[in-house]
Structure 1
Amino acid sequence: MRYVYAFEEGNKDLKDLLGGKGANLAEMTNLGLPVPPGFTITTEACRAYLHDKRLPDGLDEQIDARLTALEERIGRRLGDAADPLLVSVRSGAKFSMPGMMETVLNVGLNDESVHGLAAQGGERFAWDSYRRLIQMFGATVCDVPAADFAAALDELKHRRGTRDDLGLDADDLRTLVGTYKKVFAEHTGRDFPQEPREQLRLAILAVFDSWNADRAVLYRRQERIPADLGTAVNVVAMVFGNLGPDSGTGVAFTRDPGTGAQGVYGDYLANAQGEDVVAGIRNTVPLQELERLDKTSYDELLRIMARLEEHYRDLCDIEFTVERGKLWMLQTRVGKRTAAAAFTIAAQLVDEGVIDLDEAVRRVSGAQLGQLMFPRFDLSGAREELTRAVGASPGAAVGAAVFDARRAIELAERGEAVILVRRETNPDDLGGMIAAQGILTSRGGKTSHAAVVARGMGKTCVCGADDLEVGTDSFTVNGRRIAEGDTISIDGTTGRVYAGQVPVEPSSVVRYFEGTFEGDDPLVTAVDRLMRHADSRRRLRIRANADTGGDAARARRFGAEGIGLCRTEHMFLGDRRELVEKLILAEGLPEREAALAALLPLQRADFVELFRAMDDLPVTVRLIDPPLHEFLPSLTDLAVRVAVAGERGEDAGRERQLLAAVQRMHEQNPMLGLRGVRLGLVVPGLFAMQVRAIAEAAVEVTRAGGTARPEIMVPLVGAVQELETVRAEAERILADVIGDSGVAVAIGTMIEVPRAALTAGQLAEAAEFFSFGTNDLTQMAWGFSRDDVEGAFFWRYLELGIFGISPFESLDADGVGRLVRIASEEGRAARPGLKIGVCGEHGGDPDSVHFFHQVGLDYVSCSPFRVPIARLEAGRAAI
């Protein structure tokens, strides 16, 4: 099998094989752009290595052959003492995983070739490159603690009285190389390897191994990237940005990744190698500064940026190096961007004739729309501004300052909101970055590790706050000390950092959906345009889960086309709970009828409010489905009260009566007990009262000039006989109440028991519609409670890769999804035209919406806040 490809042999469509970085290096090479020569080792080689725990047969020989060809082309040999070829070894998966896997620069240097490099570029440059190799190779390949190298560098800078590594001369760096070698030997028990081919082979293995590093696994889980793709390895001839002031390295974006605005955006660092920029260890200058330093390279870069954006038809993220006035392109990719930038750029490209509206809708997502709906800071009141820096990823984040990633995870698991504060982040901080509400760094810019990762995750991030002195448990700024636990607020749009908690207000996008936005905002315009197109393309209707008139009204403003789930048990909480308790525990007909008579007008008023809010739109009312323990006194509490009363000689007649009743109905597993249709059949009159209240409310609204379209949903049905019994009683009541009012009421069932899904053909004979309760269906199909997703076993399953994501968050298409498919097909076979929807929260999950579209459901229902997300994803699914 062929495992190695020269850049000239690939193209941008081979990402599965060559990874994103390798495919795009090949594409730029074929476009004739200035790319250093090199070759890519495929993802197939990585997968074979990870599976067999060794390199696949033939790979070593293919690497040697390709390396020899590279040496012949450049005219230098790897490790040559007089004129050495150096290479970089860089990861490159199909999907961008910034900073999660390994890179080693300057491979090929040793104690001899460093002198040859010095003859070509100067002593300082050569020893700087050598110390970088030992540092990166040691940390990446041999697990030497990176902090030990950093400590040695900091100690040397302190002795020389400089804060910047540029303040170190050649002798200093030669000394540092010696120190680094000692650090390497102390931790590995061997000298730093001098054989260049050994360096190369070990670096390649380290990149392969980094695919399964903890931080890479965590990142893939966060971004839902499949675990079995593997990474390619790119071996590239080194070009050097650390040759002096006429050299440097940078990152550029063809548009602002934060806002989508057109212009020149990026960072540049003179006399540096690429890792210095993304690691944020030195503060960069704006890309425009390159025009003053090297106008020829700057102009060429702008021409290449324009060409790449035209070629990829999207925002491009570009890494480049200037080597003594010569521009080299090291990488390009379709750039990560904030949610705001995604919508803005998509609309811009439509206006520019680059893409059509279908493609524009494809390029945004429901998850991004959800980010735009988060609140922003209300700055109308008093506040203490600590500093202003680079707004790297928009949003308003408030939390306690923490200075260690592990501490951030620990506090977040307790339910505390935290802001992770670091001098600069590195890939090992990923867990803390995920746990935090936002990230604040004192170093780095819009292309630093913190910025790139935060944008990809939709996290608020402020970078480059260089007046912050960040320590291990506090930071100081302008004489003000902020310690761990002190609340701070960061604004990722403006880059402002505030002491204390700044209040928040609804975002402009939420106000747009609410119909209260005023003014001219390009983002709102873009959202409106793309939402309208998504609505015009989608087949799925979108309903909301709502139990009150207020929720229903908000859902309608957000674009809901009806209510897919009204949970009537929520109407019985609070003051009404006692009435339900009396009804359930009633020992005779008079008690039961009294409780029902008290509940009927309350229920009728509830439904009148809902029908008015959703005038002329369908409202699916689920008959009461309470886990009984939520409506009855605690068995343990009652037993204790009876026992204590007995010891005191007090009358406990009422408590004894309650205790006996609760004992009769006590359930070992409340979630599988006396719920749903079972409760309606066991407690006479309960469902009948609700059906009457629904019918009377619909008639009242209709006679007042409105239009009520109620749908009655019977919950937790497992056998058609249950549904037939409830339906027969409901039809008698409906006939009695509706009369000639013209109100039509549909009766259907909720599919939430696996048996219901498997006998859907029978159920369809008695049901006019199905609605999948995917929360309970998931719970019963898997055999664990929704509460278990917070438990220890569930997180272990995530760690082991058994679950990539909670099946309560995104539908288990293979298992639960198969039940949905079976029930839909068999239900419609029995009753053509059967209306089918989903009312679990999966109805607002983007991936699940796409599945429901494919299965052919009629609608999804979700919480009001997620209605716009479902609308957008339904449009994307159709496109």
Structure 2
Amino acid sequence: MTFLRLGQCPDATRELIGGKAFSINSMLTLELPVPPAFVLGTDECTRYYASDRKLADDVLAELRSGIENLESTLGRTFGAAHKPLLVSVRSGAPRSMPGMMDTVLNLGITDAVEKALREETADAGYAADTHRRFKEQFRKVVGSDPSPEPWEQLGAAVAAVFDSWHSPRAVAYRRHHGISDEGGTAVTVQAMVFGNLDDHSGTGVLFTRDPVTAQSEPFGEWLPKGQGEDVVSGRCTPLTLGHLAEFMPDVHRQLMESAALLERTFRDVQDIEFTVESGHLWLLQTRSAKRSASAAVHHAVTFEKEGIVTAEGALSMISPEQLSAFLRPHLAPTARVGATVLARGEVACPGVVTGVVVGTADEAEEMAEQGIDVILARPTTDPDDVHGILAAQAIVTEIGGATSHAAVVSREFNRACVVGCGEGSLMGLVGKSVTVDATSGEILDGMLEVEIPSKDTHPDLRVVTEWLAASTTGSENPLNKILAAAH
């Protein structure tokens, strides 16, 4: 079996411990501020399914060993009524599948632990909020009320994360990307840090370069007194990182320095989740950022110019799907004149598409199967909406920001996306034919005229064309075929 304490396994591979644990292990090796953690490898997921979805006794024993190590590291005790230890239980496939599998936060809390947190912090609101969050998430992920016994909570959460490997949304995601169902997900157990603790706490997401507009400056969002699920779920509309810089400049500076180091180390744009607990920065994970097609092309060109990667390396940063999306139509200037704006929001993934607005993922899938182009409008999206996102031409939401689940998945699938249009602004549009201009963030009435981009009007596309002409892979590179088909 594979059981590893992260930060102590320099040879562990992404295939063995999953992307999330791999990133934590790498950050700990770089001596960045990361809560301690351990991991059950992807092979344990395979064994779990081979054992009729039962956790083996040696796995349960290793979970106890891992928790005991966290206890000794932090001076806290799992399930104790004094200085209790809470943990997160997170999925982590070898290939990033954002939002497709399950996570349980704040695990280990009970009535007695809530009382201990209340006494330790002198903040009954924080303790009750943490307990509420745990119970709601546990019920959603595991499907039952949490046991009053923390060790039983842990076993149930680990099993639920393994189970989520074969959830309908995870299977649909793998089908779309041609990923095998073999193997499985690792499970990372990490000490909790609390963005909801006090007024000097919060949570956020940072991209080392803008994943939407292709600007080279860092981009991110920050939510004071919140936990990570609040941002990525889209339930809350966060603030910009400028608010963090103004409120906690030292934390912001440390975050930017860490981000620059991670981008240099991985030689790619990074998507970093972080928490600030009472003014102390903690990094929770980093991964290659899902980005819009235009951002993928521009960042590849910029990385080559900056000497971070070679031209061949830059070409590998652009997938055939991204180049194809980059070459899709944009709104004709004359079409905008006199167009009626139905709603405005924040661009999460650029593009211009037309279609009929639908209000549910199931309806999007059904109408798309009939050959109708649809726009999926939701108050906010849930991971279970993935089949509708795949079926739609674009996604628009009433609440949530550019780092929410809807935004990240839209960039992964190269779907035009506009988020945060305002509560009540979209569901009344169901049944209408509209144009989503996810360059300006507008939803326009009617199906408007679009134009096709070319290398003559896009310098980045001209550079990519020159790279391909000089590439050692020559005409065999699939990007060449897409360019040839477009022109």
Q: Same fold, TM exceeding 0.5?
A: yes
Shift of 1:12: 8.3
The answer on 1:425 being equivalent to 2:393 is no
Aligned match of 1:403: 359
Show the 5 A alignment for 1:140-539. 140-142=141-143, 184=145, 192-380=146-334, 381-466=337-422, 468-470=424-426, 474-475=427-428, 482=429, 484-507=430-453, 511-512=454-455, 517-518=456-457, 524-538=458-472
Q: Kindly state the Cα deviation for residue 868 of structure 1 after the two structures are TM-superposed.
A: 3.1
How far did residue 223 of structure 1 move?
Answer: 1.6
Q: How far off its partner does 1:33 sit?
A: 0.4
1:125 paired residue number: 126
Aligned twin of 2:92: 92
Q: Supply the distance in 1 between the matched residues of 2:72 and 2:472 (Cα, whole angstroms).
A: 57
1:257-287 deviations in Å (ceiling 9; x for gaps): 1132111301110010000000011111111
Q: Does 1:868 align with 2:478?
A: no
SS of the residue 1:250 aligns to: strand
- Partners of 1:108 and 1:65 lie apart in 2 by 16
1:625 is matched with none
In the alignment, which residue of structure 2 is the partner of 1:66? 66
Q: Quote the residue 2:14 is aligned against.
A: 15
CA distance in 1, matches of 2:459, 2:50: 50
Deviation for aligned residue 1:530: 2.2
Which runs of 5 or more structure 1 residues have no equivalent in the other structure?
145-183, 185-191, 476-481, 519-523, 543-843, 850-859, 872-879
Find runs of 4+ consecutive structure 1 residues off by over 6 angstroms. Answer: none
Q: 3-state DSSP class of the match of 1:359?
A: helix
Aligned to 1:776: none
2-structure distance, mates of 1:240, 1:454:
29
Tell me the alpha carbon deviations over residues 87-113 of structure 1, each in whole angstroms, 9 at most, x when there is no partner: 000101111111100000000001111
Distance across 2 between alignment mates of 1:325 and 1:351: 37
Residue in 2 that maps onto 1:136: 137
Q: Measure, in 1, the Cα distance between the counterparts of 2:474 and 2:317.
A: 20
Quote the Cα distance in structure 2 between the aligned partners of 1:308 and 1:25.
Answer: 11
Q: Could you say if the C-alpha distance between residues 526 and 229 of structure 1 is closer, same or farther in structure 2, counting changes exceeding 3 Å?
A: farther
Give the conservation status (yes or no) of the 8 Å contact 2:468–2:474. Answer: no
Deviations for 1:135-184, whole angstroms, at most 9, x for unmatched residues? 01001011x6xxxxxxxxxxxxxxxxxxxxxxxxxxxxxxxxxxxxxxx5
In the alignment, the residues of structure 2 paired with residue 92 and residue 407 of structure 1 have an alpha-carbon distance, to the nearest angstrom, of: 30
* 1:536-574 deviation per Cα after TM superposition (whole angstroms, max 9, x unaligned): 2256658xxxxxxxxxxxxxxxxxxxxxxxxxxxxxxxx
Q: Whole-Å Cα distance in 2 between the matches of residues 300 and 266 of structure 1?
A: 15
CA apart distance, 1:350: 1.1
- Superposed displacement of residue 869, structure 1: 6.6
- Partner in structure 2 of residue 47 of structure 1: 46
Q: What one-letter code is carried by the residue in structure 1 that aligns with 2:416?
A: T
Cα separation, 1, equivalents of 2:366 and 2:91: 31
Change (3 A) 1:14 1:89: same
Task: Report the residue type matching 1:355 in the other structure.
Answer: V
Looking at structure 2, the residues matched to 57 and 127 of structure 1 have their Cα atoms a distance apart, in angstroms, of: 33
The answer to whether the 8 Å contact 1:82/1:115 transfers is no
- SS at structure 1 position matched to 2:466: helix
SS at match of 1:262: coil
Question: 1:109 matched to which residue of 2?
Answer: 109
Counterpart AA for 1:50: Y
- Partner AA of 2:131 in structure 1: Y
Compute the TM-score of the two structures, normalised by the length of structure 2.
0.95
Q: How many residues are treated as equivalent by the alignment?
A: 483
Distance 1:87 1:869, change over 3 A: farther
Tell me the secondary structure at the aligned position of residue 73 of structure 2: helix
**Matches of 1:116 and 1:67, distance apart in 2:** 19
CA pair 363-420 structure 1, distance change in 2 beyond 3 A: same
Secondary structure class of the residue paired with 1:94: coil
Query: CA offset at residue 467 of structure 1?
Result: 5.1
- Contact kept in structure 2, 1:94 and 1:229, CA below 8 Å: no
> What is the CA–CA distance in structure 2 between the aligned matches of 1:415 and 1:66, rounded to whole Å?
52
| Residues 317, 332 of structure 1: 8 Å contact kept | yes
Shift in Å at residue 55 of structure 1?
2.5
Secondary structure (helix, strand or coil) at the match of 1:112 reads helix
> Helix, strand or coil: the match of 2:218?
strand
Distance in 2 between the 1:468 and 1:390 partners? 16
How far residue 11 of structure 1 moved from its aligned partner, in angstroms, is: 4.5
In structure 2, distance between residues paired with 1:233 and 1:129: 22
- Residue 126 of structure 1 and its aligned partner are, at CA, apart by 0.6
Relative contact order (C-alpha < 8 Å, sep 6+): which is higher? 2
Residue 497 of structure 1 aligns to a residue whose secondary structure is strand
Q: Structure 1 residues 90-99 or 52-61, which shifts more? A: 52-61
Query: Which has more radius of gyration?
Result: 1
CA RMSD of aligned residues (A): 1.9
Amino acid at match of 1:291: A
Note if contact 1:12-1:20 (Cα within 8 Å) is conserved in structure 2: no
**1:383–1:499: 8 Å Cα contact kept in structure 2?**
yes
Q: How far apart in 2 are the matches of 1:84 and 1:869?
A: 61
**Structure 2, unaligned stretches of length 5 or more?**
none
2:3–2:40 CA contact under 8 A, matched in 1: yes
CA distance in 2, matches of 1:123, 1:467: 31
- Structure 2 letter corresponding to 1:42: G
3-state SS of 1:314 partner? coil
Cα distance, 1:21 vs structure 2: 0.5
* Kept in 1: contact 2:343–2:425 (CA 8 A): no
Correspondences of 1:620-631 after superposition (within 5 Å): none
Distance 1:536 1:300 in 2: 40
- Tell me the distance in 2 between the aligned counterparts of 1:202 and 1:194: 12
The offset of 1:526, in angstroms, is 2.2
Whole-Å separation in 2 of the counterparts to 1:450 and 1:11: 34
Q: Is residue 327–residue 486 contact of structure 2 (8 Å, CA) maintained in 1?
A: no
**Cα offsets for 1:752-771 (capped at 9, x unmatched):** xxxxxxxxxxxxxxxxxxxx
Q: Aligned partners of 1:405, 1:416: CA distance in 2, in Å?
A: 14
- What's the offset of the Cα at 1:398? 1.2
AA at the equivalent of 2:85: L
Could you say which residue in structure 2 is the equivalent of 1:650?
none
Matched residue of 1:73: which SS?
A: helix
- The C-alpha deviation readout for 1:195-248, integer Å capped at 9, x for no partner, is 000001100000000000011000011122221131011101000000122110
